[in-house]
Structure 1
Amino acid sequence: MNTTTATSHAPSNPGGAARFVATQTLLALDARHPYVAKSLIDAQDMHRTVMSGFSGWVDNDSPGARSQMNILSTWTADLRQARLNLVVQSSVPADWSGIPRAALAEPPETLTIDRTFRAGDRADFRTVVNPVRSIPAPPGSPPKTRGTRVPHTRPEHVKAWFSRRLQPSGEPATGPDGVTRIGGNADTERLALRMLPQVSSPAPHKGLRIARAEIKGSLTVTDPKTFVAALTQGIGHARAYSCGLILVR
């Protein structure tokens, strides 16, 4: 599995190439083990499981530790086989020795990804995203009051959310509405989209609820540098909670 943010409003140079380098680990975990079962029902615990592999790379109190190491993840649950399949991507190697041995259904499988992308390259992809829209704060709210993020719950709205991030050839890396694009384009009619169960966290994170949707399809690279940025940094919100990783092959 193969599975950085441009801000220029001028069209990016479609020529040239960009190199994507990362490490990915597939963790096959026993969903019946308490260590794994807790991660399945608590999004914050899943985040801790992912971050447990990267102790010591940055100071414990360093803000944005996840983004500094470009840590992204995604997971699927096979309830019939009682498996949690967790993919973790990062720009630094991980150490998974802290996971209880009994929680591992199989030894961790680690890959080094080193791939060069050029304009016109095609890649099949899968991503799980947190599709949300922002509602501005009501009139009369105090200055700098943040708006409210509301999840999209209908597949057609999720498809529109993703379409805004596509980048047709010759278009800039930032859309007219300020959305960061992904350096690739796709036939939206051929995208496969599936709404996934929401994940949440109990106390002390009672307000944490993450809407999720899975998108699969084929992308054509239009802006290699921006495309590699999207692969490295992910897309959308909730990247700390296993959303936004684009896996390509």
Structure 2
Amino acid sequence: MNSTRASTARFVATHSVLSLNARHPLVAKSLVDAHEMHRTVMSGFRGWVEDGAPQPRAQMGVLSTWSVDLKAAALVLVVQSRIPGDWSRIPRQAFTAAPHIITVDRTFKAGEVVSFRTVVNPTRSKPSGKPASEKVRGTRTAHTTPEHVKRWFARRLQSDVEPANADDGVARIGATADPETLGIRMLPTVSSAHRSKPVRIGRAEIRGSLTVTDPELLVGVLSNGLGHARAYSCGLILAR
């Protein structure tokens, strides 16, 4: 193993687990509009960052993920943050149980095996067709098959001897895994038809086990998220 890496790293965050009634108007709107889900998540953190400050979500380390049981009309929203959330702005009638607040304080060790789940927005850059000399960025396109998602994630895995960034610039996650053991499930696209900022986000769920190779790098990814669309409930890695 690279001797310059720390053998342990500490991860501290707050997890808010919100059990919500999917039939409540605010929750129902959050389910059909990605911008509304973002507003619901960020409503718990008003006042921590000055209005108009750049990247408030990133400053507060706010990441989220959610799952819905349509038959039971139940939405479970998990919000991670560096500071505690205040969920009093969500109507009491929208909750099916009181918010469950958990302080996560965990030390990860090199060589440790952890199970994980994450919902990501796995994308590739589609060439623009312009000459390379014009340096025009390609269009970001979501992967749509489990095999492509598996390859997308595998490129971010990191063995004991690999650096933090691949030769093509892809940032690695401080852990490795056997890609063939990963469970991949394609999830419905989430979108918003908001006139000023329409979005359409392809999503996939990845489950499995990781072996820690660079604890500090892994803690950074756990804290800051993985991939794109982190403002829209993608990129949070839940490890246990």
TM class by shorter-chain length? over 0.9
For 1:71-104, what per-residue CA distance to the aligned partner results, in whole angstroms no more than 9, with x for missing partners? 1000000111101100000111110000000001
Alpha-carbon separation, structure 2, partners of 1:205 and 1:248: 36
Residue 146 of structure 2 aligns with an amino acid whose one-letter code is P
CA contact (8 A) 1:12 1:172 kept: no
Residue 108 of structure 1 aligns with an amino acid whose one-letter code is P
Alpha-carbon separation, structure 1, partners of 2:124 and 2:196: 21
CA contact (8 A) 2:61 2:224 kept: yes
Residue 23 of structure 1 is matched in structure 2 by 14
Q: Which moved more, 1:183-192 or 1:144-153?
A: 144-153
Alpha-carbon separation, structure 2, partners of 1:121 and 1:98: 40
Residue 40 of structure 2 is matched in structure 1 by 49
5+ unaligned residues in a row in structure 2: which ranges?
A: none
Q: Which moved more, 1:75-84 or 1:135-144?
A: 135-144
1:205 Cα offset (Å): 5.2
1:187 Cα offset (Å): 1.1
Higher relative contact order (CA 8 A, sep 6+): 1
1:143 Cα offset (Å): 4.9
Question: What TM-score comes out, normalization by structure 1 length?
Answer: 0.92
Residue 39 of structure 1 is matched in structure 2 by 30
Alpha-carbon separation, structure 2, partners of 1:12 and 1:97: 48
For 1:24-46, what per-residue CA distance to the aligned partner results, in whole angstroms no more than 9, with x for missing partners? 00000000000100000000000
Alpha-carbon separation, structure 2, partners of 1:98 and 1:15: 41
Residue 85 of structure 1 is matched in structure 2 by 76
Alpha-carbon separation, structure 1, partners of 2:165 and 2:132: 29
Q: List structure 1 segments (4+ residues) > 4 angstroms apart after TM superposition.
A: 140-144
Q: Which moved more, 1:162-171 or 1:132-141?
A: 132-141
Residue 66 of structure 1 is matched in structure 2 by 57
CA contact (8 A) 1:40 1:46 kept: yes
Alpha-carbon separation, structure 2, partners of 1:53 and 1:15: 34
CA contact (8 A) 1:12 1:223 kept: no
CA contact (8 A) 1:47 1:242 kept: yes
5+ unaligned residues in a row in structure 1: which ranges?
A: 1-10
Residue 71 of structure 1 aligns with an amino acid whose one-letter code is V
Residue 68 of structure 2 aligns with an amino acid whose one-letter code is A
Alpha-carbon separation, structure 1, partners of 2:12 and 2:32: 32
Alpha-carbon separation, structure 2, partners of 1:131 and 1:175: 17
Is 1:208 aligned with 2:223?
no
